Amino acid sequence: MATALGFSAILMWALLALLTARSGAVPPLQMNALCFAIGTLVGLVALRVRRVPLRVFRQPPSVWLLGVGGLFGYHAVYFAALRNAPAAEASLIAYLWPLLIVLGSAMLPGEKLRWFHLVGALFGLSGAGLIIAGRGGGLSFEGSHGFGYILAGCCALIWAGYSLLSRRARDVPSDVVTGFCAGTALLSLPAHWMFETTVWPATSGEWLAILALGLLPVGAAFYVWDYGVKRGDIQLLGAASYAAPLLSTLVLILFGEASPSWTLALAATLITLGAVLAALPMFSRLLARA
């Protein structure tokens, strides 16, 4: 159940590209502030409905540093990477985080890295690379963009570190993610004022896209991801995360924002094979019960 909830975050992240494309010309950090504010409301409503007391937010400073640092740090550094390197190359480097989660999981209590976890993650990375290269018209790493590549690598380290350390902090309720979203929104606002020019959505459709972003991929997704990495199969979730760029591209094709290709079919095969390899222990358990 926890692993399935974690995978639902990947499904929501598949909507990120389409909704971002439909949200107009709102600058990234301003978008961050808006979406995480909506994401905070998602958590507050859930707390109210379930009657969770506010004392749940009484957590050590290390927990707040991990949560707000992970959410705000990843997005801020990712946007900086895109400003200093081509989007395709920066995205591929940033998408090393699922592989790092699989590798880093070997250091977690009760976890053991097996060959099929590693091979599955590498297949997924290869498939994601094909998709990202196809979107950007190919990959061409140049030394002049070295700083951007370093920032993209930091993105991968930040999100992998956040996910793995969240697993170690499994006693912290996922309800606290509400506070992480609020902190990220509050930090994004002054960053926006310092580095960007405010641009508001021009149409009701753009406002709806931002609302959907805050409700799903930049809202509910973080709550279920937190629960999944704390309670579910983190190695399977790491390898399965490479489905996000595949599903994202399929959504873009469905809505006329991209075209199907043989490259996409090959990428789908690699990602699916990688996820199946990473899920071998789960299949073994199911067969043993049958």
10, 241 in Cβ contact below 8 A?
A: yes
Give the model's pLDDT for residue 81: 87
Instruction: Answer whether residue 35 shows pLDDT above 90.
Output: yes
Instruction: Answer whether residue 109 shows pLDDT above 70.
Output: yes
DSSP 8-class letter at 237: H
Residues whose CB is less than 8 angstroms from the CB of residue 188 and which lie 6 or more positions away in sequence, other chains included: 29, 30, 32, 33, 36, 72, 75, 76
Q: Which amino acid is at 206?
A: E
Instruction: Answer whether residue 32 shows pLDDT above 70.
Output: yes
Give the model's pLDDT for residue 140: 63
Condensed to tens digits (0 to 9), the pLDDT of residues 81-105 reads 888 887 767 787 888 898 889 888 8
- How long a stretch of residues is the chain? 290
3-state secondary structure of 145: helix
Instruction: Answer whether residue 287 shows pLDDT above 70.
Output: no
User: Quick one: pLDDT band at residue 37, thresholds 50, 70, 90?
Assistant: very high
Give the model's pLDDT for residue 262: 83
The pLDDT > 70 percentage for the chain reads 93
pTM of the predicted structure, to 2 decimals: 0.87
User: Quick one: pLDDT band at residue 34, thresholds 50, 70, 90?
Assistant: very high
- Mean pLDDT of all residues in 187-210: 95
Rounded to the nearest integer, the mean pLDDT of the chain is: 88
Give the model's pLDDT for residue 6: 95
- The CA distance from 234 to 112, in Å, is 11
- Mean pLDDT of all residues in 71-76: 93
Roughly how many angstroms between the first and final C-alpha of the chain, as a whole number? 18
Give the model's pLDDT for residue 282: 65
Condensed to tens digits (0 to 9), the pLDDT of residues 127-167 reads 888 877 776 566 566 677 888 889 988 999 999 999 999 99
